Homo-oligomer: A and B are copies of this chain.
Amino acid sequence: MKNNQFAIAPTDHETRVAELQRIRLLQPDELTTLTPNELWTKLLLRIHIADHSQALDHEWLNSLLATPDLSITDWLSQSQPMTNEVFYLVALQILQFEPAIDFSIHAPIDGMNKIQLPMEQHEQWTNNDIIDAFYLLLNTRTKLGQNLLDRLTSQGMFTWTYSLPASEKPLYFNGKPIASFDPDRFIREVVYVETDMDTDYDGMADLVKVEIMRPADTNNGLKVPAVFTASPYNQGTNDKWGEEITHNVNVPLTHKDPHYQSPNEPDFPMSYQKHQVNGESQTASESFSSTPAYTLNTYLSVRGYAIVYASGIGTKNSDGLQTCGSPEQTDSMKAVVEWLHGDRRAFTDRTSGIEIHATWCNGNVGMTGRSYLGTLATAVATTGVPGLKAIVSEAAISNWYDYYRENGLVMAPGGFQGEDADVLAAETFSRTKSPADYRRIEKTNNKYMKGIEAAEDRLTGNYNGFWSHRNYIPNVDNIKCDVMMVHGLNDWNVKPVNVKNLYDSLQEMPNTSKLILHQGQHIYINAFRSLDFSEMINLWFANKLWDLDNNADEILPDVLVQDNVQPETWRTYTNWSGNHSTTLFLTDNALTPTEPNSVSAVEFDDHQDDKTYHAWCDQQSEWAKALLNDMDGKFSAHFVGTPLDQDWVLRGTPTLKVRVASSADHGLISARLVDRGRAKRLTISPVILAKDGLELAYHFGKDDLREFELQKQFTDAKVISYGHINLQNRHDASTVDDLKANQFVDVELPLQPVFHTLKAGHQLELIIYATDYEMTLRGNEAISYQIAPEHCQLIIPNN
């Protein structure tokens, strides 16, 4: 087990003393009246809150080892001076590490180093040293995936802070608010924010439902920031409907007419009525008991951040239709930020006209969430809305064309063949969950759904007006807030190109931007044992939302990347891409650094026999395996580099240049980059170390503690990047080029960005093929492709 902490704020001795006193772990006179051992014992007993008697205190000290052979009580009775070994042997036990498993009782300092726990060692320990080391210990993570302070919090140590006056909150420790807000007294209320649109054609401005959970202290004058998660899923989903309208992908690609214009998407009314205001209320009329929660938000809630969820237009109890990423959906979420910031109207319900204000909010808003949720955080940020100070954009789409299309091709998010914008709109249109409301809107919605199905244009796969409305990248220069991006390098659902484009655009802006790349797929990382992500967000939000001057931007790394070889290893960088690149040439099944002379052409056949075709359609993973093993090039062309002499770190967006001909007047080229080499790789998904093992507060909220581990079995290869392009979109995704059968054309195909270490002994492999059973249309046409290798290049960015 290895610990990685980035949220510990450097702190001087005086601050440590003051903060320990503030959280009542230290009394002012103790620094002068006690010996170091007495002070240490006092601190130890103060953090053991289960015991309320001397007998139990004694038993506890007698249950822990101070040396390999003496318990703490036995060791104390010998009146020896404190040593590094004693302090850290006890520290390891306090941090829940286990002798023989995590460390040796005979070498605690080695254990601390091996686990990567911070230490302060001394020749002779003074009281100040005890204080400093103990302070650091409180900020050090236990084996259970939370720092010691948070573990003590989850044991109830700081419930006394609940009753502190609002004026003394939040209570900060090491630059972060601690859990001083009583979750049993949270106020849960619902308001309806009025938007500037009428997407359900009823003549009235759409209202959107907002669910708020805020500390009771906000009723006593405390103003708190809001952490807002925009989730179209939160009011329920229509999974069966989505399945039913999922598109058939077993259809052929066709020749595109360069003059074809895809239909426009439906317009919404320009004029509509605002809701009449009939009065104002200080209190909400509607409450709720629970709503699907992001556990990071739950962690933050007891630390004083108000937590806000809204599902936006087209969801249960809101007006409007589901537009899948349109500017209207963005604006419906922006409206929530505006209300929180005091710039927009909300009502206590949808009919009475009674207004209600977010008087409890300090006007600072952060947004969080993964996938669609993170997408909307990004989208709202690109509006530059006042009040939005920071977003944590996780696994977020930055351009819906990069989600459902690619270079003139219909492209599935990994695992969701046949999904498209209209399908997602249907799945999230939760007004179905209010059956009478749905009966009234059903026809309007069905008509609108037909409109977006046409406008998304699966016929050509081209970039058009529909997609440009759903591309947030051109508006990045409007962003006024700071941005933390989190993305999985193995996310085949929201592919890494989404975060790469956002990251690159932000590098030209003055805003703070932070990037975390992990080895997962489409997941949250806040319950990882090896990384203090929740503490990082708490530190960062303390700065952005509580306006605490804690140097968060300087403390947190700009780019943090999880290693793909060593488990539990996170490295810091200053940017994503390396400064150099390597050009590789294609020759007889090989990748070479030197330009080859003449190379014979390569041909492969995209057509499969019926049985194989149906089997691969049913089990796409079987196709993916077959592709990796198709070394004789039946339906793909393989180019393999020589085994590496040393590790090679690939960083950034690889580019493939190909000269290719299709035997038909249409066609596509796909490519995969493969890390070829036998190794025990990280698990695809994090392993659950302890179900509900992470307590987010005292008796309030739990999460499953997780971590990537090395797989038990060796594997021979891993796909690290890929790309696809329609041979009729050689210039760009919106421009159709002509194509004739057997005409050689040059295409330049950017592959998914990477940050990957190819181990010494491994080989880089390029696979060029056509139909991608996991992502593209698959019509199983009788088409063959010819590659002219001497006109192909693979450019790999690296250190």
Contact = CB atoms under 8 A, between A and B. Distances in A.
Contacts of A286: 50-53, 56
Contacts of A695: 290
B434 A64 contact: yes
Interface string A547-563: 00000000000000000
Nearest to A184: B184
B435 A64 contact: yes
Interface in A341-362: 348-352, 354
Interface in A73-87: 74
A352 B99 contact: no
Interface residues of A, number: 57
B287 A62 contact: no
Contacts of A435: 63-65, 93, 98-99, 105
A698 B439 CA distance: 32
A572 to B, nearest CB: 32
Interface string A45-58: 00001111101101
A62 B71 CA distance: 69
Interface string A608-651: 00000000000000000000000000000000000000000000
A13 interface: no
A438 B65 CA distance: 10
A155 interface: yes
Contacts of A58: 351
Contacts of A50: 190, 286-289
Given A59-B351, A286-B52, A71 B432 contact: no
A53 B438 CA distance: 23
Contacts of A52: 285-287
A240 B101 contact: yes
A98 B241 CA distance: 12
A49 to B, nearest CB: 8
B436 A63 contact: yes
Contacts of A289: 50, 154-156, 698-699
A698 B188 CA distance: 13
A414 to B, nearest CB: 19
B439 A65 contact: yes
Nearest to A435: B65
Which of A154, A240, A436 is most buried by chain B, counting CB atoms within 10 A of its CB?
A436
Q: Which 5 A-B pairs have the closest CB atoms?
A: A71-B436, A63-B434, A53-B285, A55-B352, A155-B289
26 contacts: A49-B287, A50-B190, A50-B287, A51-B286, A52-B287, A55-B348, A55-B349, A55-B350, A55-B352, A56-B349, A62-B437, A63-B317, A63-B434, A93-B435, A98-B432, A98-B433, A99-B432, A99-B438, A100-B240, A100-B241, A101-B240, A105-B435, A154-B289, A154-B290, A156-B289, A184-B184
Given A51-B285, A56-B286, 17 more contacts: A52-B285, A52-B286, A53-B286, A53-B352, A55-B351, A55-B354, A56-B349, A62-B437, A63-B434, A64-B434, A70-B436, A98-B433, A99-B435, A100-B240, A101-B240, A184-B184, A290-B695
